[in-house]
Amino acid sequence: MSRLKKHNSSLEKWGLKENPFRPTPPNDPEKVAQIFYGRDQALDVAIPTLYEGRNILVRGAWGIGKTSLIFNLIYQLQREVAELDDNEKMLILYLSSIPGESATEFYRALLLAIADSLADLDQEAQDIANTILGFSIQRTKTINEGQVKLGVLSFGRREESPSNKLTPTANADPYPLLIRLLNQAEKKYSRLVIAIDDFDKKDPIVVQNILEGSLDLFRMGKNRGFIMTGRGFTDLQEATLKALGIFSEDIPLEKMSQDALRQIAINYLNSARKEPRNDPHPFTEEVMQLITNYAQGVPRQLNTICEKVLRNAASEGCEIIDQTAFSSIWQTLQQEFTYSLSPMFRHLLYVAYQAGGISEDISDRDLDKLDVVTFVALYPQLKSMEEQGLLIRQEDEKGFRFTPSQLFEPKFLPESKSE
């Protein structure tokens, strides 16, 4: 039997149409709503806040579920507004992958998104959407329900010459035109909600400059609400945010319990099952308990582990993923993961493993091992490794600490044998 036949035969035997797990959530609010679980308190706060035209900051570590929360939030908001009796018109936009590291580029991308959404209603918006320089736009999904329009947009770069020299160019200041177009949008839609994801991936200084220079954007619209993702800020930035009064709600996303992660795994499986079930089959409950523990409270780690284990078990033709099968697969995955890392990453993870994690109170001895002088010098590398799922940020009242992913296994490294 060929590899693919063996793999697909296992999925068929388990009642699955495909392997549903991915490290990141689907780029479709409807599909996210099928797999989303938990965070009810956050939704209870966020939905009426956005409906009232107020702004929200959603904060949390990489992979904690910020994008899933925003996708589910805007989808549920669309559904609930559509059920209201007053039939008010509402525009909801989800924007991701905004390129650039300057306030001007941020404004230009936002201007393009608004113009694209109004292009069929406003000639000026149509001209802007057709000719603005610097970015291209991809409409991943558009959902119309009643009087509510939900658009999912992402951005790329392009190099073109404008067909109309009167429209914004790469050298023009897009901010005044953005404010004018938003005001136009509020005349055509009674309520606007704009979700900006991946905002937390920009340099904190850039984020601060955007917020400080955009009070008309974030505070002036009566029925215009923004929701953005964010992460940790310095004490000074925290004070600045509070003084500006931009955000009505600051929603922190904490780590998820093992029970919540188990339900997320079941929801993913049900999205690919021919018949839904209330258990994690083909994973046994004992194995799912191990996986949710290894995920360290982070949904992205859960998805990554489940994806790899399910694929390997299917390729091996396992009848079920019990502890015997899992132990063999897990050791192989750890070994492959560990040896796939660059020597620099392996060394840093090994030092982090020995020290029980890396934080601001890292010892001089460990700094010497990593050939850096201060934690600040090491932080960009730690942040990069966190983005890749190699390190998990653990936060408590004492601060934060970066610990290695459970996929990393130091016993497979030569240096571990010499200890």
pLDDT digits (tens, 9 = 90+) for 167-217: 444 456 888 889 988 988 988 898 999 999 877 677 777 777 888 888 888
**What local confidence, expressed as pLDDT, does residue 168 receive?**
47
Q: How confident is the model at residue 163 (pLDDT cuts 50, 70, 90)?
A: very low
- Contact (CB, 8 A) for 155 and 136: yes
Q: Is 156 a residue whose pLDDT tops 50?
A: yes
Separation between Cα atoms, residue 218 and residue 213, nearest integer Å = 10
Q: How confident is the model at residue 374 (pLDDT cuts 50, 70, 90)?
A: very high
Separation between Cα atoms, residue 155 and residue 192, nearest integer Å = 20
Q: Is 352 a residue whose pLDDT tops 90?
A: yes
Q: Is 238 a residue whose pLDDT tops 70?
A: no
**What local confidence, expressed as pLDDT, does residue 237 receive?**
61
What are residue 157's DSSP bridge partners? 135
**What local confidence, expressed as pLDDT, does residue 139 receive?**
73
Model pTM score: 0.87
Tokens at residue 264, please?
Answer: 């997320």
**What local confidence, expressed as pLDDT, does residue 49 receive?**
95
Q: Mean per-residue pLDDT for 119-125?
A: 77
**What local confidence, expressed as pLDDT, does residue 96 receive?**
85
Q: Mean per-residue pLDDT for 43-58?
A: 94
Q: How confident is the model at residue 166 (pLDDT cuts 50, 70, 90)?
A: very low
Separation between Cα atoms, residue 113 and residue 118, nearest integer Å = 9
DSSP 8-class letter at 273: B
Question: What are the backbone angles phi and psi of residue 228, rounded to the nearest 5°?
Answer: -135, 155
Separation between Cα atoms, residue 95 and residue 76, nearest integer Å = 17
